[in-house]
């Protein structure tokens, strides 16, 4: 399945047809999700489907995927990385999805270790848009190399409240990755920038694989300071 082509056409879908998948189809979808590459192979996540969820900015959909963990480090990033592969996979099949950062499982299955909800299903209308219709920061605000193929893919990545809390500094032999430290009032209402980083790195990974390069992200460590951001790690560059 070519996920790369979906990067520059997908959009968040908020209108769904009331035509749920069968249990067998949902089981197949779960197998597909489990087959996606993780960002951190040692950080394990659980996936379950829900039909009743609630929260602010909620979207009604036939299905919700709830990603949960155990409260360990790296889970949010992994959820973003794997969940975004699911989003691109949905788009490639003419289906749609939307991340729901403020929604919760409203059934008795809800857990305190639930990380994020994704609404998905068959969409009303198209799950695509033109590249010119993406609303994003100017690419020069998120990188020093506006022509880099991988960073162009990141530029179109979705993020909560469309904050795009990232910066990518291209150096000769590596890509330095930074996460924006939000300030109040945004920091009080939005806590999922680690999920966003996983999503951005997913787009970079999918572009790397598309162009025949390996994807290798090393989290943490120390890097040159950047005001308003924390150093998040480094990735290999795509030649
Ligand atoms: C972590 C995360 C949480 C989000 N939460 C919500 C939400 O609660 N409700 C909603 O309608 N959209 C939500 N979104 C979708 C964003 O608003 C959307 O991705 C962004 O505005 C960019 O638009 P696009 O996805 O159509 O390119 C969320 C996106 C992410 C990545």
Which residues does ligand 1 sit against, CB inside 6 Å? Answer: 11-12, 14, 57, 59, 98-103, 134, 158-160, 162, 192, 195-196, 199
3-state DSSP assignment of residue 115: strand
What pLDDT is attached to residue 239? 80
Q: Which residue, among 84, 1, 3, 7, has the nearest Cα to 39 in the 3D structure?
A: 84
- What pLDDT score was predicted for residue 224? 95
SS3 232: strand
CATH number of 139-236: 3.40.109.30
The whole-angstrom separation of Cα 140 and Cα 130 is 21
pLDDT of residue 194: 98
Check for a shared fold between 4-121 and 139-236: yes
**Are residues 15 and 97 in contact, defined by beta-carbon separation less than 8 angstroms?**
no
Average pLDDT of span 26-47: 98
Decide: 226 and 178 in contact? Cβ < 8 Å. Answer: yes
Looking at every residue in the chain, the average pLDDT score rounds to 97
The residues pairing with 114 across neighbouring beta strands, listed in sequence order, are 68
Q: How far is the CA of 173 from the centre of ligand 1 (A)?
A: 33
Question: For the domain 4-121, what is the CATH code?
Answer: 3.40.109.10
What pTM did the predictor assign? 0.98
Q: What percent of the chain has a predicted confidence (pLDDT) above 90?
A: 97
What count of other Cβ atoms lies within 10 Å of the Cβ of residue 221? 10
Q: Kindly report the protein residue whose alpha carbon is nearest to atom 8 of ligand 1.
A: 100
Q: What is the CA radius of gyration of the chain?
A: 17
What number is the average pLDDT over the span 37-46?
A: 98
What's the confidence (pLDDT) of residue 48?
Answer: 97
Domain ranges of the chain: 4-121, 139-236
Q: What is the pLDDT of residue 228?
A: 98
Indicate whether 1 pLDDT > 90. Answer: no
pLDDT tier at 164 (50, 70, 90 boundaries)?
very high
pLDDT in tens, 83-128: 999 999 999 999 999 999 999 999 999 999 999 999 999 999 999 9
How far is residue 60's CA from residue 146's CA, in Å, rounded to a whole number? 37
Residue whose CB lies within 8 A of the most ligand 1 atoms, among 16, 91, 102, 161, for a mutation test? 161
Residue closest via CA to ligand 1's atom 17 equals 161
């Amino acid at each position: 399945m070519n996920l790369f082509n979906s990067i520059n056409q997908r959009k968040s879908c908020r209108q769904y047809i009331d035509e749920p998948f069968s249990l067998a189809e949902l089981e197949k979808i779960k197998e597909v999700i489990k087959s996606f590459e993780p960002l951190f192979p040692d950080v394990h996540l659980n996936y379950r489907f829900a039909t009743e969820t609630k929260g602010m900015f909620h979207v009604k959909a036939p299905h919700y995927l709830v990603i949960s963990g155990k409260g360990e480090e790296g889970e949010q990033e992994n959820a973003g990385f794997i969940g975004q592969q699911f989003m691109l996979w949905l788009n490639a099949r003419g289906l749609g999805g939307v991340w729901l950062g403020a929604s919760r499982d409203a059934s008795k299955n809800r857990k305190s270790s639930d990380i994020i909800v994704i609404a998905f299903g068959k969409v009303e209308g198209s799950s695509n848009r033109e590249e010119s219709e993406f609303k994003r920061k100017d690419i020069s605000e998120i990188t020093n190399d506006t022509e880099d193929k991988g960073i162009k893919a990141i530029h179109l990545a979705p993020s909560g409240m469309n904050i795009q809390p990232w910066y990518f500094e291209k150096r000769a032999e590596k890509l330095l990755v930074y996460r924006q430290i939000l300030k109040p009032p945004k920091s009080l209402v939005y806590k999922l920038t680690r999920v966003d980083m996983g999503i951005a790195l997913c787009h970079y990974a999918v572009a790397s694989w598309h162009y025949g390069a390996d994807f290798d992200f090393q989290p943490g460590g120390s890097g040159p300071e950047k005001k308003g951001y924390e150093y998040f790690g480094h990735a290999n560059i795509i030649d």
